[in-house]
Amino acid sequence: MFQVNPHYAKLPGSYLFAEIGRRVRAFQAANTDINVISLGIGDVSVPLTPAVIKALHEATDEMGTKSSFKGYGPEQGYDFLREAIVASDYKARGMDIGADEVFVSDGAKCDVGNFQELFADDVRIAVTDPVYPVYVDSNAMSGRTGSFVNDNWDKLIYLPCTAENNFVPDFPKETPDVIYLCYPNNPTGTVLNRDALKAWVDYARNNGAIILYDSAYKAFISGDDIPHSIYEIDGAREVAVEFRSYSKTAGFTGLRCAYTVVPKDIQVKGQKVDLNAMWNRRQCTKYNGCPYIVQKAAAAVHSAEGQAESAAIVKGYMDNATKVRQTLKNMGMEVYGGEHAPYVWIRTPKLGNGYTPSWDFFQHVLDNAHVVCTPGAGFGPSGETYARFTAFAAPANTDEALARLKASL
Ligand code: MLT
């Protein structure tokens, strides 16, 4: 008898940002005269930079000329981009990554969601809590997380990150096979210092686990004390896969380009696990590569002009983050993150007795300040009395949103 994948029926409601979009559209439909400002989903507001636009134009012209037209590209990405990534993101910072360990794609969200296909159905998954929902939902779709009972997946290993442990996850009681880490962290905006990240790499090596390390926000780190890549830690090449993106740093959320680094020496307890060959096989089978013109645009991000332009964009967003942090702090809120990340994480203030549940806080802020935030519960059970504000809105909108929050909270 025909059956759909039964695990989809266990997923709670809709995807977090789809649900937020639904609620905002409902509010907007009932209040057509109100200009709602989003500090919700981390979507960028600064347009593509001159170096990127120039590369797009040139590559577009190449596609219209017989001698330079390109059909299918390599599934792994063009060498010119893989080599630019290795040179500017790894070799320049003293890390040993080969171009054949870099897989270019159309998004870190897709890669991080797809990568779990390489693991057996019964591997135990650990995630920090709160967490970017893609890690959890993609494993839930494959049936690895068990049942969703009382807002918890019963087979998922949660690593709570709250103000109480300073947002540094403790090692779990049960030993996971796969550990998802994201630093700078989405949603809390907090970071792991070198010692804390080393402790996790050592833990993975000693316990036979693989780390899937999402460093999509590494460009927002200031200073060199915080690791930008997990491969800055000795031994990480044996246990870690790293995901990166052009979305937030170079304004590619609409253009789409990212990459995943899968080292060739991954091993579990001394046994080689050739995830590089497996990911290559998976990508060759299911993916035809990121468009040539987009890869040319991404390569331009690594040029001297491109790097300077991206740095200026990041600085603008971090100026917003500082304003959001300061304003919410001055309003008496408990504020975290936002120093090395474009996300500010707050403890929801007491609107009645005790901390406000995060969806109630979301609705209160939407109804009264006409500002969208992201409710912490959408990122996991430990987010229940927290909310996230992004620094990605235009500065004028950020100022206006903060003025409205001050007036209404
Ligand atoms: C977020 O707001 O958490 C991100 O924009 C989502 C994403 O990058 O997919």
Residue pLDDT, tens place only, 14-72 = 888 999 999 999 999 999 999 999 999 999 999 999 999 999 999 999 999 999 999 99
Ligand 1 pocket member 107 (CB < 6 A): no
Centre of ligand 1 to C-alpha 42, Å, is 5
* Radius of gyration for the alpha carbons in the chain, expressed in angstroms and rounded: 21
Lowest average pLDDT, out of 81-90, 157-166, 213-222, 349-358, goes to 349-358
Is residue 301 exposed (0-12), middle (13-18) or buried (19+ Cβ within 10 Å)? buried
Per-residue model confidence (pLDDT) at position 232 = 97
Nearest CA among 23, 27, 38, 19 for reference residue 392: 38
Which region, left, alpha or beta, applies to residue 143 given φ > 0 means left and ψ of -120 to 50 means alpha?
Answer: left
Q: Average pLDDT of 82-87?
A: 98
In this structure, the number of other CB atoms found within 10 A of the CB of residue 314 comes to 20
Centre of ligand 1 to C-alpha 306, Å, is 23
Q: Are strands 37-38 and 371-372 parallel, antiparallel or unpaired?
A: parallel
Q: Average pLDDT of 284-304?
A: 98
pLDDT band (50, 70, 90) for residue 355:
confident
pTM: 0.96
Ligand 1 pocket member 109 (CB < 6 A): yes
Question: 236 Cβ partners below 8 Å, 6+ apart?
Answer: 201, 211, 213, 230
Ligand 1 pocket member 42 (CB < 6 A): yes
Centre of ligand 1 to C-alpha 65, Å, is 37
Centre of ligand 1 to C-alpha 108, Å, is 10
Q: Average pLDDT of 327-348?
A: 97
Ligand 1 pocket member 199 (CB < 6 A): no
Is the preceding peptide bond at 187 cis, omega within 30 degrees of 0?
yes
Centre of ligand 1 to C-alpha 169, Å, is 21
The atom of ligand 1 lying closest to the CA of 41 is: 2
Centre of ligand 1 to C-alpha 235, Å, is 29
Ligand 1 pocket member 302 (CB < 6 A): no
Ligand 1 pocket member 40 (CB < 6 A): no
pLDDT band (50, 70, 90) for residue 351:
confident
